[in-house]
Chain A
């Protein structure tokens, strides 16, 4: 028991050295895991990246960018949604089906899931609006969007 006590009270017992070694290994693993994640994980491609990678027709893809101002059209009777998604360099025409999300606006961000058709337009199975991390009350005189559906 006296031996055990002496071991336990030693500042750097073998057990504590092992703990320090394990922590260092964990830090190294974390560093490489984070680095490879950051380099390899891709949630969406920008239209330019999709063009450079020559994504073929029918390949499931996600595209992200801004809704090009002046292109957003929604036809309620046929439920057809058409707009161009842009990263400032490349524009891609997107054809979707269904009610657009309330925050899908011209000049705002969007992510579309689907695939390219033979004619180069993007057939979206899902259109997701992106909003930014800025929060502010409406400017005076503007109508606040009280009820986001």
Chain B
């Protein structure tokens, strides 16, 4: 038999089988979570099973991030419903103000070799650690919460081989937008993306950005092998003992191999209304923008806010541009505050939201008006995504977003980073 991919290795271990791409298995889950948009339905599905318990309370989490703090009474009631269920069952609640689920899983939970399911499509973010992490619906996650396991079809894998290093002004977001533009929004449907080659060019926060958007190519997971960078991040976060080596076998079988030279990637932007509709930032300099949003589970981390502050410090955003900053977690917020990042961004004309998903999901905190154009560091630009089907959403890196906030039009950050 040939060797195994990372996906085959983790799902074999968790199912106690010799699993290969295409097999169906039932596997033990190490962490199951939902957010406030999917959690209430998950609780109702657990109740439909006739249960009022969860299998592993300390590995079951309800994150309040999509509507945090709640803008409507219906959503406040949803929060109460999940708090009461958690109080009865011992499941954990991540309260309003703590941050976005995927960032908190990265800060506090994820480790190589884990199997993580979340009722949120961007659960694949934790693949950056060499964990098999995938988004599912409320029913799947309800079953995982109630029974500690769920069913999986083992995905085929695409190997993505990286080489070279980024040019100045180019970031992980540009890489993943470029890849999605290349293979298409369904180019990796049902597959796992497995990154290899010069992955040390990507620090942990960069890997989180890349893995976060695997689902935007249709993928089930976006997996990095674990290495010294993973080990150092875990040690810094106080869970160094959870490090283990996760890597594919040298003779693993891949459906496809794709190669990218990081030095050839340029600042990239997704245009409305699909993520794979990409262009170079420098080709879009005639696109005027009304709002810039720097935040989310894709790019609301400390390094993202730091880059934005470097570009905007001592300057002012262009007239007619609203700059919204959304730290992805309480810790990001506090560190950005103590480093002077938030002060620089607010002095430049920005406003700072509480930690959470912010306007990305269209619930509140920056809903677009008719015909308005936003440049956002989030991961999706579908019709209606930010609360108005008559708005236009462009996606970019924090550097491109900050540079564009200065000029009022989509701007290659290298123009202002001299």
Do A and B interact with each other, yes or no? no
Binding site for B on A (CB under 8 A): none
Binding site for A on B (CB under 8 A): none
